[in-house]
Amino acid sequence: MLNIVLFGPPGSGKGTQAAKLVEKYGLKHLSTGDMLRAEKTSGSDLGNEVAAIMASGKLVSDEIVNEIVRKQIGLHVGKVPGFIFDGYPRTTEQAKTLDMFLQQVGTSVTTTLFLDVPKEELITRILLRSQQNGRADDTKEVAEARVVEYNKWTLPVASFYDSQGKLRMVDGLGDIDEIFNRLAAFADLALRTA
């Protein structure tokens, strides 16, 4: 399987690029942010539980997101050529759990693609996005809180994958297709060497 962790700070373009990777490689897109927003919209107990946390820009608990991902892997494994994890794992605990989940179904993370975007650019992009999609957590204050959470909890996940020799840095500046070509070059390489 080709299992890609698409990694990067909020506003680095993970969602946009994930959609293009899905189109090219036929992968199942697992975005914990999208799944949590869907829970919120559906008004489920889980959705109500996570709404305030998401609105604050803080991270939802590892237990909740791990369980969502575990279910999705179980539903799709064997039916797709691989997964693209977008916005997950966001803590080292989640990364360890993902390794375990994938191992249980006989596979592993193939590569981690880190969309590298300078921090000055992130808030600008998030604010631009808010004009296009009206996401509730795309305000300046919440975006800043998300970047703080990212630096505290998520950035260490890059070292976790680096220590496994699975981290690839990708320049996240430029136009969408240009960035996509850089990602696809690494995905192709991973496929050839898998």
CA distance 140 to 36: 21
| 8 Å CB contact between 187 and 131 | no
For residue 118, give the amino acid letter. P
Residue 6 touching ligand AMP (CB under 6 A): no
Comparison of 32 and 72: residue with beta carbon closer to ligand AMP: 32
Comparison of 52 and 78: residue with beta carbon closer to ligand AMP: 52
Give least dist CB 99 to ligand AMP, A.
Answer: 15
Mark the segment that binds ligand AMP (CB under 6 A) among 21-29, 39-47, 87-95, 180-188: 87-95
Comparison of 74 and 181: residue with beta carbon closer to ligand AMP: 74
Structure tokens at 109: 């993370």
**Three-state DSSP state, 90:** coil
CA distance 89 to 109: 11
Mark the segment that binds ligand AMP (CB under 6 A) among 58-66, 95-103, 107-115, 116-124: 58-66
Distance set, CA 69 to CA 30, 31, 91, 99, 102 (Å):
7, 9, 14, 12, 11
Give least dist CB 188 to ligand AMP, A.
Answer: 26
Binding pattern for the stretch 117-156 against ligand AMP, x by CB under 6 A and - elsewhere: --------------------x--------x----------
C-alpha closest to that of 21 among 181, 130, 190, 189: 181
Residue choice 33, 161, 170, 183 for contact with ligand AMP (CB under 6 A) = 33
Burial of 191 from C-beta contacts in 10 A (0-12 / 13-18 / 19+):
middle
Residue 46 touching ligand AMP (CB under 6 A): no
Interface residues with ligand AMP (CB under 6 A) are 10, 32-33, 36, 53-54, 57-60, 65, 87-88, 90, 94, 137, 146
